Structure 1
Amino acid sequence: MPTRIEIAADPVRDRCVLITDHLSPRRLPGPPGVVRVALVAAGALLLAGDQVRIEVVVSGPIRLEIVETAGTVAYAMRGSSARWDVAIELSGGASLSWYGEPFVVSADASVTRSTAVHLEPGCTAEIRESLVLGRYGEVGGTLHTQTRAWVGADLLLAEDLDLSPANRTGWAILGQARCLDTVTALGHRLPEAPHTLQLEGCGSIARRLVDQQHESDLGRVSEAAERTPITH
């Protein structure tokens, strides 16, 4: 059973269904028109053989803000591997803000991450993903990521990254950086700025390559988005 967050806008009281698996979603106080949900680890994560799946479904003119209470560490897996899969569906003018904490891939860990986002036209999502290859002083393990996003039937974003030790040090990938910090906007665009890629469709990717995650300034993008009022 996956971790599941299901939100439906309602004129009287927004409906919220939360299902716990590897992660426990817990509702937080929020202003009108916004549902805030914290993700709390329900046990040790991320270990060899773990298959984490998070499903997020939001319908109606409401914004869901997902808050991670702590970063995640993928520990040494001794030849085994783990998965971390996210599936998101937004409809009816829904909006999602999810600013993830660092996801650290320790030495000898092997992880595959996938994110699939389906938006109806008029919906928006903004997702921050901070990937850190290794704890301090380590050469991090292997990480493969896959991201797909659709607006209606149109594919907006398709990206696959091989962040294994042998490949990620190439100049076109990470070079000497240890951290890959990304804010992805779907259904709307981030402001024009250096290191921000405007997609052919309505979306943007802002990205920083840094040695230490705290050196990235993408937190400012996240903070500004959290202050943006609901316009649906």
Structure 2
Amino acid sequence: MSTRIEVVADPVRDRCLLTTDHLSPRQLPGAAGVVRVALVAAGALLLAGDDVRIEIAVSGAVRLEIVETAGTVAYGMRGGSARWDIDIRLTDGASLQWYAEPFVVAADADVTRTTTVRLAAGCTAHLRESLVLGRQGETGGVLRTATRAWLGEDLLLAEDLDLSPDTRTGWAVLGTNRCLDTVTTLGFRLPDDPQTLQLEGPGSIARRLVHEQHQSTLNHPASASYAR
């Protein structure tokens, strides 16, 4: 099963269908043309053997804003492992804004995390992912991430990161930092900045490496211009 958020634009009232699994989506009040959905853990997360899948489908001229009520901690797994997979599909002019809370990988955790995004022409996504390796005073466990994004038939972004303890301390990965904070835009670009990577197609990656997550200077879209 999957946690699923399905939104369809409607001239009278945008339709929103929510399905609960590991996470419980709950609709919040929103302005016209905006559907806001909170994600609430339906139980303890993230434990060994958990297979969390989140499916998001948005169609039409509507913006879906996802709000996380709390961060997620992947706890020690004693030799086990867990998955966290996100599948996003946007069509017919839809847009998505998802500024996630920190995803913390505690000592002895082993997590594989994937994000797959498919956008039709004219759609946009604005995503934040904050990865924290270890709770206070911990080294943190194993985290492997994979991100793939398509705009129409064209591959817009492909990135794999191995954030295992033995590899992430390299100067080209995290060095002495323990937090990787990333804002990714797809379907439009952020303003040029020395710390922003512009993709070959319409998209950007802004990234900060910090020791404590609150030290990141990446702003919430409410305090910056947002392209719908």
TM-score where L is the length of structure 1: 0.96
* Runs of 4+, deviation exceeding 2 Å: 221-225, 227-230
Unpaired stretches in structure 1, ≥5 consecutive residues:
none
Amino acid at match of 1:73: V
1:5 corresponds in structure 2 to 5
Unpaired stretches in structure 2, ≥5 consecutive residues:
none
Q: Tell me the distance in 2 between the aligned counterparts of 1:8 and 1:89.
A: 12
Q: What's the offset of the Cα at 1:13? A: 1.0
Amino acid at match of 2:78: R
The within-5 A match list for 1:124-139 is 124-139=124-139
Q: What's the offset of the Cα at 1:194? A: 2.1
Q: Give the secondary-structure state (helix, strand or coil) at the position aligned to 2:185.
A: strand
1:16 matched to 2:16? The reply is yes
Amino acid at match of 1:203: G
1:98 corresponds in structure 2 to 98
- 1:137-156 per-residue CA deviation (whole Å, 9 max, x = no partner) reads 00000000000000000000
Q: Tell me the distance in 1 between the aligned counterparts of 2:144 and 2:77.
A: 15
Give the CA RMSD over aligned residues: 1.0
2:63 corresponds in structure 1 to 63
Q: Tell me the distance in 2 between the aligned counterparts of 1:176 and 1:134.
A: 13
2:223 corresponds in structure 1 to 224
Structure 2 CA distance for partners of 1:178 and 1:30, relative to 1, 3 Å: same
2:53 corresponds in structure 1 to 53
Contact 2:147/2:158 (CA < 8 Å) preserved in 1? yes
Q: Give the secondary-structure state (helix, strand or coil) at the position aligned to 2:204.
A: strand
Q: Tell me the distance in 1 between the aligned counterparts of 2:11 and 2:195.
A: 41
- 1:48-81 per-residue CA deviation (whole Å, 9 max, x = no partner) reads 0000000000000000000000000000000000
Q: Tell me the distance in 2 between the aligned counterparts of 1:212 and 1:166.
A: 20
1:82 matched to 2:82? The reply is yes
Count of residue pairs brought into register by the alignment: 228
TM-score where L is the length of structure 2: 0.98
Amino acid at match of 2:22: H
2:160 corresponds in structure 1 to 160
Q: Tell me the distance in 2 between the aligned counterparts of 1:155 and 1:229.
A: 21
Contact 2:99/2:220 (CA < 8 Å) preserved in 1? no
Q: What's the offset of the Cα at 1:193? A: 1.2
1:114 corresponds in structure 2 to 114
1:213 corresponds in structure 2 to 213
- 1:62-107 per-residue CA deviation (whole Å, 9 max, x = no partner) reads 0000000000000000000000000000000000000000000000
1:171 matched to 2:138? The reply is no
Contact 2:29/2:36 (CA < 8 Å) preserved in 1? yes
